[in-house]
Amino acid sequence: MKLITAIVKPFKLDEVREALGDLGVAGVTVTEVKGFGRQKGHTELYRGAEYVVDFLPKGKLEIALADEMVDSAVEAITKAAQTGKIGDGKIFISTLEDVIRIRTGETGAEAV
């Protein structure tokens, strides 16, 4: 099993969710996050004084998947979230040791 963590532009969340839904992905956890990458921040102005916004808002998706689903999920996220402009985000993939469904106590692939 793998855990996919994807950082995308906030306004792309809906499209990514739809693309994953079409693949049959059973569940996604979404968080509003802030951070910086190559896009860096930008300067704003308040009453004539400049200030820097170093951390830009992004959407973070966390998706637990069976190994054979990973490639198609990555492709779907990439296709849906890409604008071609700086700041499109990143996808991190890590190994997932176990998954437990709290309602039934099922574990492993059954619980995904």
Partner 1 sequence: MTDIFQLQYALDTFYFLMCGALVMWMAAGFAMLEAGLVRSKNTTEILTKNIALFAVACTMYMVCGYAVMYGGDIFLSSITGDGATGAEEPATYAPSADFYFQVVFVATAMSIVSGAVAERMKLWAFLAFAVVMTGFIYPMEGAWTWGGAPVFGMYTLGDLGFSDFAGSGIVHLAGASAALAGVLLLGARKGKYGPNGEVNAIPGANLPMATLGTFILWLGWFGFNGGSVLATASVESANAVAVVFMNTNAAAAGGLIAALLVAKVLFGKADLTMTLNGALAGLVAITAEPSTPTALEATLFGAAGGVLVVFSILALDKFKIDDPVGAISVHGVVGLLGLLLVPLTNEGSSFSGQLIGAATIFVWVFGASLVAWGILKAIMGLRVSEEEEFAGVDIAECGMEAYPEFVSSKA
- Under rule CB under 8 A, residue 86 binds partner 1: no
- Under rule CB under 8 A, residue 48 binds partner 1: yes
**Residue of the chain from 24, 38, 46, 86 that contacts partner 1 (CB under 8 A):** 46
Q: Which residue has the tokens 């951070």?
A: 35
Structure tokens at 14: 């809906």
Q: How far is the CB of 52 from partner 1 (least distance, A)?
A: 10
**Spatial separation of the C-alpha atoms in residues 111 and 99, rounded to whole Å:** 6
Nearest to partner 1 of 46, 95 (CB atom): 46
90 vs 11, 61, 82, 97, CA distance in Å?
A: 15, 11, 10, 22
- Under rule CB under 8 A, residue 42 binds partner 1: no
